[in-house]
Structures are given as C-alpha cells and as structure tokens.
Structure 1
Amino acid sequence: MQQSPIKKRAILGGTFDPIHWGHLGIAYAALEQVGLNQIIWVSDRHKRDPHQQSQVEFEHRQEMVRLAIAPEKAFDLGPPPSEDPKAGYAIVTWQTLQQRYPDSQWYWIIGADAFATLPKWDRAAELVEACEWLVAPRSASDPGLNYPEETPLFREISPLNLQQEPPQLNSTVGTNPSTHLDNTALIKTEEICQQVAIAFKTRQIHLRWQILQSQTLPIASTLLRRHWCDWPKIRTWVPKPVQIYIQTHHLYQNPQYPLPPHSTSLPRL
C-alpha cells in the first residue's frame, strides 16, 4: 500500500478572545514563508490568567475562530480540548493532533515572549524534538506587553502586518515584500531565540526555529475587549463575520476598564 505523502502542518494556539487580523497575519506569514500545507487553530478552553477581564465562554471564542478562518482552505479548526485543565497543555494538544494527522511534519507558531518560556513547559523536550518553531516577533511598542493575556502554554500572539484598512483574507496578508520588520523587534526576537536554543543545548536537545518575516503593529485582543463599545473604529481589527457575531451575541459590552498605565491613547492604525 502506498503511503500518504508527508504534509507540513503547523499548530497555532491561543485564547483568541477575540481573534483578530493580527492572528491571521501571523498565520499567513507562516503559510507563505514555510510553505505549509495546513495550519491548525487550537483555542484554549481554560483562561488561567487572572489578568484577563473577559468572561466570554470557550464556545463563543471557538466559533469566532471558525468564522475568521473559514475562507482559507489551508486553515483548519482543531478539535476542542476536554474539560480537564491538563488537556490544554501543549504536549497533549500535539499528541492529539499527531494521532489525527500521523503523516505530518510539525511546526508550532508562537509569539516571541511565549517562546522564551518554552524551556519551562511540561515535557518540553518531547515538543522540541517533534516540532520546528516559527517565532513571531513582538513589537517593542506593543501596548499589551505589560498586560499579559495568555494561558501558561498558549500566549496571545502579537499582531503582524495589519493594513490601514481591513485586509482581504488571502495569502498577501503578513507577507508584503515591501514591509520590513522593525529592527529593534527583530534583534530582540533573535536574542530570545538564541537564549532558548542555548538552554536546550545544555540539555543535549537541538532546537529548530526560524523568525517569521512580518511587520509588527501595536494591537491586541486586550484593547478590543476593553474598547469594543466606546471606540467603534476598533471593530475593523476583526474580520466582518466576527464583528457580526460579537454584535449578535452582545459580547464585550462592558468596557469599564482603563487603558494601560503606559498608554495615553489607542494606537493609530
């Protein structure tokens, strides 16, 4: 019997509260740069971070991801994790997907800040050996830097290459050749990657990684949640089907949260 060809698949995990154009930009950058066959989006059921203000349930977040990625045939919604908090661990996620897609070469799309924590992950050595890591740089001016909105293993990934107007959902998002990475962000991301690689090298583990070549911009789901009601323009940061879903289900309707203390205004797009 002829074996199925090996396909290049990547995992992109997060709370996606809500998903926005930045997440999609990262995914398209990875799709084009690495020549991936498929990106599997995995929503974390449990929001373990006490800083998170949102009360949006997993089912809503999962449905918003489904709506956002529907136009792209290379994107697939991963299976929902079980109610067991340990089901959200990265190693469990990878094992589940490996069983579903056995003929795969695995990649993991991740933000630079989360990548820095990789040596502390549960059974990190197994994951490092199983995947190549695609690291999304984080802008030095990212307003979410001091407001973490990640779970221990699926950090909110910094948005990349958002256009002045909501971009069309196609392979040009996040891969515009006229756009270059902010040099400070690139240097910082390179330093983080080298430090993580050294940490694993001391344990005799070889880490495979590359930096995603896409421009960073200062938006985050935190601002979407806080200002959905009081700043209508911010709604263009999410695809139209997600906008409609949020309005229909009356999500993010309690904008009684201050801006981050180091920010005097919302970022201009």
Structure 2
Amino acid sequence: MTEKIGILGGTFDPPHIIHLIIANEVYAQLGLKKVIFLPNKVPPHKKESGFVEAKDRVHMLELATASNPHFEVDARELSREGKSYTFDTMLEMTKEKPDQSFYFIIGGDMVEYLPKWYRIEELLQLVTFVGVNRPAYSLNSEYPVLNVTVPETDISSSLIREKCWKKSPIDYYVPEKVAAYIKEHHFYEP
C-alpha cells in the first residue's frame, strides 16, 4: 500500500494560519501520512515575490510548521534557476519515492488556472490535484480535482504584507514565532 503525501506549494511570503489550516484539513480529511510545504522561487503564474529572501521564507515556514509532526518543509525548488514548475519537482519526487502517492493541494484560483499549467497532462499522471475552496473562485475544472472544503477567509500573504507596511498588528494572522521573526527583521515595512 502506498503512502499518501500532501504537497502544498507557494511563495509563503509570509506563511500564515490559512496555509496551516488548509494543510491540516486536507491531511485529516484525506488520511495523509504528512503534508510537505514546498516554497517556490519563481512561480510560473506570477512574478517572483522579492519581498523576503528565500532563506527567510524557509525559516518562517519551519517556525510555522514545527509544532506539527505531520508537516515538513522541502526547499528543493529554491536552489533551481528559473521558474519553479510543478511538473519538474513532482517528476523528481515520484522518482525518489515511487512508493508514495502525491496529493497536490491548490486553491480555487489555481484550479481555474490548471489549463495553463506547464505539461499539465503529464503532471496528472504524477499527482492527484486537491482543490480547496477560496472566496470568489470555483473548484469546477475540466481536469480531475478532488475537492476538500476548508474554512473560508480572505487572509492572504499580501494582506499580511500590507498590514506590516501600515505597521498594523499581525497577531493571530501568522503563528506567534513567525510574527516575532517578521517584527525582529522588520520584514514588509516601508
């Protein structure tokens, strides 16, 4: 029997409670062995975030996930040049762990974007996509997507960056240790 592994990719600039809630809900509802957080360098669908260096994003992710033994961070995409294509990463991971089946977690915005994903037809042979609801996005797709319902909120990394820019509190939007790290390093401030 293969192990079921969740993958949650993103820039995580910064990681916040909704990332953790999504990972935990999918972990529980699908009976996964673990969820791997996969920070990317240059996502194909948007510009490089450029707000915080990759090493600091990884550190914040490690702080955010440290208390959950079913969460881990895999920073492999950050050492590559160019865009971070899911196909390349998942091809690598499936070769490394042929005894695992991968569940790639995406929000409704990315479900709508699936037709534009790099080598989508081949990627579908490597992963099962798991779509989680997001406000104002549909989970309907021409591609097979397993839907998981999670609590909806408009909390996002861009909202947190905006709050930091305005010097508004971010308590409870991010884990306490992440908030302390952001404050200590003055990330996202003017």
Instruction: Give the alignment's TM-score, normalised by structure 1.
Output: 0.65
How far does residue 27 in structure 1 lie from its aligned partner after superposition? 0.4
Change (3 A) 1:242 1:6: same
- Structure 2 partner of 1:85: 82
In structure 2, how many angstroms separate the alpha carbons of the residues matched to 1:252 and 1:98? 36
SS of residue paired to 2:6: strand
Q: CA offsets per residue over residues 82-138 of structure 1, 9 Å max, x none?
A: 23114x100111122223322101111001111122122111111112211110111
| Residues 42 and 48, structure 2, Cα contact 8 Å, conserved in 1 | no
In structure 2, how many angstroms separate the alpha carbons of the residues matched to 1:60 and 1:46? 15
- Structure 2 partner of 1:155: none
How far does residue 227 in structure 1 lie from its aligned partner after superposition? 1.4
Q: CA offsets per residue over residues 228-267 of structure 1, 9 Å max, x none?
A: 153533332000110111112221112xxxxxxxxxxxxx
- Aligned-partner residue type, residue 85 of structure 1: G
Larger fraction in strand? 2
In structure 2, how many angstroms separate the alpha carbons of the residues matched to 1:79 and 1:100? 15
Q: CA offsets per residue over residues 21-65 of structure 1, 9 Å max, x none?
A: 01111001100110000111100112663495x521111111111
Kindly name which structure, 1 or 2, has the bigger radius of gyration based on alpha carbons.
1
Unaligned runs of 5+ in 2: none
In structure 2, how many angstroms separate the alpha carbons of the residues matched to 1:6 and 1:67? 29
Of 209-218 and 58-67, deviating more is: 209-218
- Structure 1 partner of 2:172: 236
In structure 1, how many angstroms separate the alpha carbons of the residues matched to 2:125 and 2:104? 12
* 1:137 lines up with 2:133 in the alignment: yes
Q: CA offsets per residue over residues 177-197 of structure 1, 9 Å max, x none?
A: xxxxxxxx6xx32xx23xx23
| Residues 56 and 251, structure 1, Cα contact 8 Å, conserved in 2 | yes
SS of residue paired to 1:247: helix
Unaligned runs of 5+ in 1: 141-184, 198-206, 255-269
In structure 2, how many angstroms separate the alpha carbons of the residues matched to 1:223 and 1:112? 18
* 1:64 lines up with 2:74 in the alignment: no
- Aligned-partner residue type, residue 147 of structure 2: I
* 1:109 lines up with 2:105 in the alignment: yes
Residue identity over aligned pairs, in percent, reads 31
Instruction: Give the alignment's TM-score, normalised by structure 2.
Output: 0.90
- Aligned-partner residue type, residue 222 of structure 1: S
- Structure 2 partner of 1:204: none
In structure 2, how many angstroms separate the alpha carbons of the residues matched to 1:62 and 1:51? 15
In structure 1, how many angstroms separate the alpha carbons of the residues matched to 2:120 and 2:105? 15
**1:119-134 pair list within 5 angstroms:** 119-134=115-130
- Aligned-partner residue type, residue 134 of structure 1: V
SS of residue paired to 1:232: coil
In structure 2, how many angstroms separate the alpha carbons of the residues matched to 1:96 and 1:51? 22
In structure 1, how many angstroms separate the alpha carbons of the residues matched to 2:151 and 2:14? 21
- Aligned-partner residue type, residue 179 of structure 2: Q
- Aligned-partner residue type, residue 174 of structure 2: V
| Residues 224 and 235, structure 1, Cα contact 8 Å, conserved in 2 | no
* 1:247 lines up with 2:150 in the alignment: no
- Aligned-partner residue type, residue 80 of structure 2: E
| Residues 40 and 77, structure 1, Cα contact 8 Å, conserved in 2 | yes
* 1:34 lines up with 2:64 in the alignment: no
* 1:73 lines up with 2:91 in the alignment: no
RMSD between aligned residues? 1.9
Change (3 A) 1:221 1:93: same
